[in-house]
Amino acid sequence: MGRVEGTVAIVTGGGSAGMGRVTSLLLAKEGAKVVVGDINEAGAKDTAAQIVAAGGEAVAMCHDVASEEGWADIIKLTLDTYGRLDILDNNAAMFIAKPLMETTTEEFRRQNQVNVDGVFFGMKTAIPAMELSGGGSIVNISSGAGIVGFPAAGAYSSSKGAVRLITKSMALECAQSQNNIRVNSIHPGPILTPMLEQGMDDLGGGDEVRGMFEGMAPLGHLGEPLDIANGVLYLASDEAKYVTGAELAIDGGFIAQ
């Protein structure tokens, strides 16, 4: 307990019943005050209410990660409420399960707005706030599909590949600035979240589609949101004080193949 005691964290996509909510709850359990952002305001408020009910501190707001103005608003809320920012979990994402040749231009651009622009805006606005607090940790949620090709969702894969490399670039910029901010990425494999469930439905659903995703991981089953949340907690904590520019695969062996 207390691995991030005294810190303040922003979790995007924190209203989802998947990785965002579980990560928010875990960070709060370990001592962080959490600002829960989600385009689904009701979901964000529900996550914050669960944290408060468990004895933690949290606030929520409607937050569109694809909006630069929205990022200015959530940073302002964080500093006005808690006076500092130590952790940013860029978790919010969009997953459209379509082969690239069937993906529309609008779908391709929208996934990049959420998955790539959202991470860019998040880091650009959070870093000055973290510098005021003496440093911090940024965790960008990429994907195993951001390291290897994924034929069922080429646009998603390309966007997550961009997250992988923008993470490394920003890690180096922060290291050169000596601002005590670490930047790392997590690369989940197939994790059973509402987003993945929707993706499986988009591909036709049923046991065959689920079996395809389960079979992606040599361990033979889907991961759980807590598997990713534990990785975020590690990278956010002082246990990872010498870790920056790294990519942490939590994927059941998916990219080892």
pLDDT tens column, 147-171: 998 787 899 999 999 999 999 999 9
pLDDT tens readout for residues 216-242: 788 888 889 999 999 999 999 999 999
156 included as an active-site residue: yes
Any domain includes 257: no
How many Å apart are CA 16 and CA 71, to the nearest integer? Answer: 18
Any domain includes 3: no
> Catalytic pick from 82, 156, 234, 242?
156
As for how many domains the chain has, the answer is 1
How many Å apart are CA 55 and CA 77, to the nearest integer? Answer: 21
Any domain includes 255: no
pLDDT tens readout for residues 167-196: 999 999 999 999 999 999 999 988 887 777
Q: How far is CA 219 from the centre of its chain?
A: 23
Lowest mean pLDDT among 124-128, 160-164, 250-254: 250-254
Any domain includes 207: yes
Is residue 200 scored above 80 in pLDDT? no
Would you give the DSSP letter of residue 252? T
* pTM for the predicted model, two decimal places: 0.94
Is residue 202 scored above 90 in pLDDT? no
Any domain includes 1: no
Nearest CA-CA partner of 231 in 139, 130, 143, 126:
139
DSSP string, 77-88: HHHHHHS---EE
Q: What pLDDT is recorded for position 17?
A: 86
Q: What pLDDT is recorded for position 226?
A: 95
Structural domain for 43, as ranges: 8-250
Any domain includes 119: yes
Q: Coil, strand, or helix at residue 215?
A: helix
Q: What is the mean pLDDT of the chain?
A: 94
Is residue 33 scored above 80 in pLDDT? yes
CATH value at residue 225: 3.40.50.720
Any domain includes 256: no
How many Å apart are CA 85 and CA 34, to the nearest integer? Answer: 10
